[in-house]
Structure 1
């Protein structure tokens, strides 16, 4: 078995007591020596640290003093610069103030001198005005005296003239006024001639070009139609059937159609008389159906008239829609469509109005395109320009007035309304398209074969035209040429000058416009010819 160690207490009990005392003394001596050695080391080290701290402090103080000196010098230099800058600014401001004050003093001095000069000028002007006023008063007195003398002399001259010429004062004034008027007319004629020449040079060629181009491009296939108002009879017995027992059939027919039947003028046909072209067309077709069927009595008449009226109404709307589609118009009121279709049965001087407005619309559209205007708007305006003729026999007023009112009510463009109302110069034109519509209307109505007139109307118009030409002073004779589209006037060279001839043509054309109704236009040509004759023997 291993050996066992004795407990600590047993070991301590075996140590001698003197040894404890010796160990304690050694411990105390060692502690004291350690304290003395530590104090010495700390003292020596403290003296080294203090010396180094002193050196550092001295160095920092020196550095701080140097830096403070530098900053102080910098601040001093900056303060000196700021002071110098402020002094310079103050001196500059003071200089500007002195200059401004000097300028103000100079301006005040100039104003003072101007005021003094103005006062002197006003004083001189007052003196001059006072002198002039005295001169004017003196001259006025002299003028009044001279006027009195002139009045006395005029009275004496008038008395002598009356005694010499045996003319009264009123007669002399009249002759003087006539001479003044004649002189003014001659001057106006010269100016008018110059203006006409200038306008013709600048506008006639261009206008002729545009109109000729429009007419050439218009492939017109319209023929002059007019509503037929006569119905042929197959035999004499049909007259009795139309009249009926005690006139019942003819009374029923006239009451239903609103037209009058004339049976006494010719034995082989019946005349349908009335102002309404739609009703006249209904009456004509109804009568033809009754004659073709052979059975005529009031009930049959009522049935046929009702069927024909419904058929005609459908044709009217279809004709209006066809024309609208032909020109590609949008937003047309149904009333305008119906009225346009009614123009199919309306004629003017033998020309079918629907064909006329279609032709005018084509011409107007071509001219608008050449002038770079709105072609669709021009065609629309020309197509509706005679819309009033569809109802002018039912309403009071001219067809331009009625048509303009209808177009305005149906919401048409203001240019269209103005073109309708102004195409016969009944109101002022507000747009170039209105002028084109009037021109297209005249071209369509005046082209050869467009309209027909009776022989009596033609002769009456030619006679009236020549009568107006002969009514002017200095006219020897005049002739209507080209079916009344030109009037040539021969004047005496001894009574009418060149300027008077120009004025005569203008006055005659204006009088023809005011007093005559005619299609298209009439050209007035005044010819002044000097003839010299001699006989050789």
Structure 2
């Protein structure tokens, strides 16, 4: 509005200034510079024009002022209307806020009433509980625990009774049929003994002279380096031994060592011999794998046939791994036929369940998991892969095929004559006894005795006190009971020995008197020197702990 007023004033001033300029340009009647007097008519006309311009400017100013006044009035009315609307909104907001405050006060009042009622109820419950506890002479926690324990015992007893009844009913119906089925399956197997395939070759050294022995050991060293075996020489027994975990490398070393002994080859002749032996054995391995797959009515890739053939040179407790896999496959097929399952898939799962043993010497992990990964790479069905991984519960068995494979594997491994596990179990038990005993602080040596029925433990006297010996023996016995499986009992003996030695000096007067008596009697024995006389004592020899080695030997 102020801007409009300023514009109007400027317009009026401009109109007045224009009129004055026009009037100043007209000749003045009294001006001395004019040579001639002005024409009256012209003066009158100029005056009239000036008056008209002034009037026109005045009219324009009045019009502008009227327009400005009307606009200012309109804007004033609009502002007043806006102020009224704003005031109405503020009034509404105040009303709503007042209503909200009323509701909040009402809610607070109701909440206080509810809190008061809750406190009253809690107080009443506390009073009632205290009255009950006084009447029953029993606190609340003990009463709740007693009731819950009673309910738990009743439910557990009822549940156990139902489970036992259901199990007895099912076992009574299923056990005879299962026993008959397993007996029929086991009677169909032709292999009634552990495999006797050659795994060891005697390499006597006693019949060789020094030159021949050196030649043989040099050749055996080349064989060991090439096949990854470990060469050991027993000088007492005059024997050389090659040890290793790789079944193919072990067989290559065995055949090459036999040929070296028979043909009396030099070390320079060993590399070509190993090359020929390895090539021949590769063909034999593939042929064995193809034959086994053909007998199981399986179509396998060459890689699978080679892995299967490798199992022929892998042994577990004296049982040939390939024969074990074939037997497990046959058992799976028979069980599947009796149970109405797929025989082909069952035979494949049983045949391939130990396929991981062909490479477990090179790959870290359980042979079940390794075998499952190998079959996955070779494109085997997921059901067979799961059965292979789960047959030792490395993976939770979730299918009937997995459980069938577990049963067939157990039947093949546990039937009479399947395994020669006496020596291997004995050595493993002795080694485990030594491991459990020697892992404790302060233990110096441990010796298993009486075929593993007793273990004697020697401790360091500076690290283990007398009061700690009984506690240590009990602790080791508990660990043996927890970690080992053994027949009968195992006696644990902890020995702590302290030896102290002192020397008493000889009495000089007594020695001189003895010398004089000997001189007077003419005794030719030498006189006792003035000093100490010690009798040399034999040194105590300690038995060396027997070494335990469960690896296959050549």
Which aligned segments of 4 or more residues in structure 1 are displaced greater than 6 angstroms?
140-144, 156-161, 168-180, 459-462, 514-518
1:224 Cα deviation after fit: 2.9
1:151 and 2:126 aligned: yes
2:406 aligned to which of 429, 432, 438 = 438
SS class of match (1:232)? coil
Alignment of 1:499-510 (within 5 A): none
In the other structure, the counterpart of 2:352 is 384
Deviations 1:101-122 (A, max 9, x none): xxxxxxxxxxxxxxxxxxxxxx
Q: Is contact 1:259–1:280 with CA below 8 Å preserved after alignment?
A: yes
1:303 Cα deviation after fit: 2.2
In the other structure, the counterpart of 1:198 is 169
1:180 Cα deviation after fit: 6.2
Q: 1:222 to 1:157 in 2, by over 3 A?
A: same
Deviations 1:72-116 (A, max 9, x none): xxxxxxxxxxxxxxxxxxxxxxxxxxxxxxxxxxxxxxxxxxxxx
Q: Count how many residue pairs are aligned between Structure 1 and Structure 2.
A: 324
Alignment of 1:506-517 (within 5 A): none
1:176 Cα deviation after fit: 7.7
2:278 aligned to which of 309, 316, 319 = 309
1:272 and 2:272 aligned: no
Q: 1:227 to 1:266 in 2, by over 3 A?
A: farther
1:459 Cα deviation after fit: 9.8
Q: Is contact 1:384–1:420 with CA below 8 Å preserved after alignment?
A: yes
Q: Is contact 1:214–1:363 with CA below 8 Å preserved after alignment?
A: yes
Q: Is contact 1:262–1:272 with CA below 8 Å preserved after alignment?
A: yes
Q: Is contact 2:219–2:260 with CA below 8 Å preserved after alignment?
A: no
In the other structure, the counterpart of 1:400 is 368
1:448 and 2:416 aligned: yes
1:364 and 2:364 aligned: no
Query: Which structure is larger by alpha-carbon Rg, 1 or 2?
Result: 1
Deviations 1:211-261 (A, max 9, x none): 22222223335633466245231634278645449x754442321121011
Deviations 1:290-333 (A, max 9, x none): 111123x3211212222221221111111101111212222x12
In the other structure, the counterpart of 1:342 is 310
SS class of match (2:199)? coil
Q: Is contact 1:242–1:250 with CA below 8 Å preserved after alignment?
A: no
1:341 Cα deviation after fit: 0.2
Q: For 2:117 and 2:210, how far apart are their aligned partners in 1?
A: 102
1:263 Cα deviation after fit: 0.9
Q: For 2:417 and 2:384, how far apart are their aligned partners in 1?
A: 28
Alignment of 1:143-222 (within 5 A): 148-152=123-127, 154=129, 183-220=154-191
Deviations 1:146-165 (A, max 9, x none): 6544434546777999xx89
Q: 1:198 to 1:288 in 2, by over 3 A?
A: same
Q: Is contact 2:353–2:368 with CA below 8 Å preserved after alignment?
A: yes
Q: 1:180 to 1:248 in 2, by over 3 A?
A: farther
1:231 and 2:202 aligned: yes
SS class of match (1:263)? strand
Q: For 2:382 and 2:361, how far apart are their aligned partners in 1?
A: 25
SS class of match (2:379)? coil
Q: 1:216 to 1:453 in 2, by over 3 A?
A: closer
Q: 1:459 to 1:259 in 2, by over 3 A?
A: closer
Alignment of 1:18-167 (within 5 A): 148-152=123-127, 154=129
SS class of match (1:404)? helix
TM-score between the two structures when normalised by the length of structure 1: 0.52
Bigger mean CA offset, 196-205 vs 332-341 = 196-205
Q: Is contact 1:238–1:291 with CA below 8 Å preserved after alignment?
A: no
TM-score between the two structures when normalised by the length of structure 2: 0.51
SS class of match (1:385)? coil
- RMSD of aligned C-alpha atoms? 4.0
Q: 1:515 to 1:203 in 2, by over 3 A?
A: farther
Alignment of 1:407-486 (within 5 A): 407-455=375-423, 457=425
Structure 1: state its 5+ residue gaps.
Answer: 1-137, 465-513, 519-537
Bigger share in helix: 1
